[in-house]
A and B are shown apart, each in its own frame.
Chain A
Amino acid sequence: MDTETHVRKFQKELSAGTVALVLLVVLARATEPLYGYQIAKQLESRGGVLAGKQSALYPVLRNLHAAGLLDSHTEPSVAGPPRRYYRITDLGRHVLADWLATWGETRDFVENMLKDFRP
């Protein structure tokens, strides 16, 4: 049975739902502003589903910025177009705390549902 497309679709949906949370955590933990490539490399080094296609991170970063959860500034780089550095805002930290609570509830619920199930 070919389940690969279903697996991939599920991965995609899971990562779409959690990537914003992960990006906020990465930036909340960082001591200095990071640019897209550095963030992508951090996710990559931890592996997992979210490390999928890194091009998915940039639009999300931009949207978090548009929503006021991230601050950004550009700096010229020797290597090409100016790099956009991101830093978490106070609003971002508050939202992150709320998201973590929501995530905790969701995770507990899902684990609770799966607890006694043996395929």
Chain B
Amino acid sequence: MNAPVNAIPTPRTLDEYLEQVRAALAGADPAVVQDALYDAEEHVRSELAEHRGVDEADIIAKVASSYGSPEEVAAIYRDTEVRVMRALRTPPAPPRQSALGTFFGVAADPRTYGALFYMLLSLATGIVYFTCAAVGVSLSLGLAILIIGVPFVVLFLGTVRVLSLVEGRMVEVMLGVRMPRRPPYTDRSLPLLARIKDMFTDPRTWSTLLYMVLMLPLGVAYFTVAVTGLALSLSLVAGGFAGVLFGLGLLDFDVVMYGPPLWTAPLITIGGVLMVFVVLHLARAIGRLHGQIAKHLLVKAG
């Protein structure tokens, strides 16, 4: 059962083992790959720490039967991912058949509200990310001529990676796009300098930086669209009533009142309600789009 099924050589070191897990997971969601590698590394290192002095190849062989061979691990993560997505996530609403159902069904989709909330929040997060990126980059360049320049750059890029994970968590919770739950795998057996070099050559570091800069304009745009859309549509809904009941919204020039005729009031309210749904559709679409942007810049690059 645990015998190697094909010509893949039995892994002899932790790195070979992890490399084979990665290879076996080829084509899977990059976020799943990152999580699987992290879990495997934690487990195998615990095993290694438990049996100090025993040959690494022996431990890895033992791990391949207890934790699973790379192919088995890959299969388990693929399976579990599918099952869990089905079980734990809010199931996607059944697709509505009628055009009306499709249009109004957006209000029953939890993703819509997640996306709307994300749009409102993105102004704040965008400002934070942009400031962090701008200050980090300019200080890194400015300090480069001094001796503290190098540690500062390293610290800054490390911060960028942490922020990438944090943003990923927010995107997953609010926009429902699968993002990593573990930091990216770094080969800890390498010396510190090599690991720092890895951080520089990892395209994800730079794409994350790009994402952070991009978040300011995007955040401003999302926030504006959300606030304007909601304010306009909700005030139209209320406007119909306000005009009829309280005579609000009319221009009063010395007793002569200007405003839409009374019979338009219901139309204004109905128009407002329809517009609320249009805004919800827009929010959900923006949420989907942004989820893809985040996935490509924070996880997939590289």
Contact = CB atoms under 8 A, between A and B. Distances in A.
B197 interface: no
A77 B48 CA distance: 13
Interface string B226-264: 000000000000000000000000000000000000000
Interface residues of A, number: 25
Interface stretch (B76-84, B100-108, B134-142, B276-284): B76-84
A77 B36 CA distance: 19
B66 interface: yes
Interface stretch (B38-46, B200-208, B289-297): B38-46
Interface stretch (A53-61, A91-99, A104-112): A53-61
Contacts of A79: 45-46, 48-49
B160 interface: no
Contacts, number: 84
A14 interface: no
Nearest to B89: A66
B167 interface: no
A107 B87 CA distance: 22
B28 to A, nearest CB: 13
B73 interface: yes
B190 interface: no
A59 B45 contact: no
Chain B contact surface mostly: helix
Nearest to B80: A59
B68 A54 contact: yes
Contacts of A80: 41-42, 44-46, 48-49, 188
Contact of A56 (B44, B49, B76, B188): B76
B72 A53 contact: yes
B45 A54 contact: no
Interface in A58-78: 58-60, 62-63, 66-67, 77-78
Interface residues of B, number: 32
Nearest to B39: A58
Contact of B84 (A54, A59, A78): A59
Contacts of B43: 36-37, 40, 54-55, 58
A8 to B, nearest CB: 8
B42 A55 contact: no
B34 to A, nearest CB: 12
Interface string B115-132: 000000000000000000
Interface centre among A55, A59, A84 (most CB of B within 10 A): A55
A16 B87 CA distance: 12
Interface in B62-80: 66-68, 72-73, 76-77, 79-80
A103 B15 CA distance: 41
Given A59-B77, A59-B80, 15 more contacts: A36-B39, A36-B42, A37-B50, A40-B43, A53-B67, A53-B73, A54-B67, A54-B68, A55-B36, A59-B81, A66-B88, A80-B42, A80-B48, A81-B42, A83-B42
17 contacts: A16-B83, A37-B50, A53-B68, A53-B73, A54-B67, A55-B39, A55-B73, A58-B39, A59-B35, A60-B80, A62-B181, A63-B87, A77-B46, A79-B45, A80-B45, A80-B46, A80-B49
Interface of B: 1, 35-36, 38-50, 66-68, 72-73, 76-77, 79-81, 83-84, 87-88, 181, 188
